[in-house]
Amino acid sequence: MTENLKISLIIPCLNEAVNLNELLPFLLKEGDDLISEIILVDGGSTDNSIAIANSFGVQVLQSPIRNRAAQLNLGAKHATAEILYFVHADTLPCSKYARVILESIAMGKNVGCLRFRFDSASSLLKCNSWFTRFNGVFSGGGDQSLFILKSFFNSLGGFDTSFCIMEDFELVRRIKQNSDFHVLPNEMRVSARKYEENSWLKVQLANSMAFSLFLLKVKPAKIKSLYLNFLSKRSISITVVE
């Protein structure tokens, strides 16, 4: 039964003022009365991110560590609802996202993510988006968001804070070892800024490199260093929390 279940929505943040102005009112409107709270976990923003969050009545936590896995764990620790929903600040969930999640849980799909599409007309990025419908080795990246029962999340020990990059894939790998994982047909909208400030090919190569090194169990700090050196730091200083 899901009638009384609520969702705690957790957003890791570092200098996301522009995106928060669009994301937060959308989350509040489309979540209806199914959202227990929205928790913004800040990693040391120097822009107006915190002021914007406060203006929308969002709970703000300051993470002592600028590390996205640590920020997400901190948000989960303070969450009061039975369901956790992790959302990146430069994405936008589908309309009525909370109801979509609760309906999925009612069908026994207790953990999963959404497909996504980029906010771009690029044919190459449309191709990238199309592949997010598949529940394969590449599924479950942070841009697809993640919903999970808090009790299950806690039993897994949360995100591994030794992962300063690829923390989302690492958690999903452990999830799949213990449970079914579901990719819902609903779509996130994801910023294409990383591709626009680099190139499609360059980002594809960087992502392939990072994922290959992850599968080879290379230390996350080494993966992060190579990834940051490969792409424009301005384009990834937010999506990869340092």
Residues 6+ apart with CB under 8 A from 3: none
- Domains in the chain, please, with CATH? 7-192 (3.90.550.10)
Asked whether the predicted pLDDT for residue 237 surpasses 50, the reply is: no
Q: What would the pLDDT profile of 164-205 be if each residue is shown by its tens digit?
A: 999 999 999 999 999 999 999 999 999 998 899 899 999 999
* pLDDT attached to residue 230: 81
Residue 222 — very low, low, confident or very high, per pLDDT cuts 50/70/90?
very high
Q: What would the pLDDT profile of 2-49 be if each residue is shown by its tens digit?
A: 668 999 999 999 999 999 999 999 999 999 899 999 999 999 999 999
Task: Report the Cα 192 to chain-centroid distance in Å.
Answer: 15
* pLDDT attached to residue 242: 37
* pLDDT attached to residue 239: 42
Beta strands across the sheet bearing 182-190: 59-62, 35-42, 7-13, 83-86, 146-149, 111-118, 182-190, 91-92
* pLDDT attached to residue 232: 61
Q: Worst-scoring range by mean pLDDT, 102-111, 167-176, 229-238?
A: 229-238
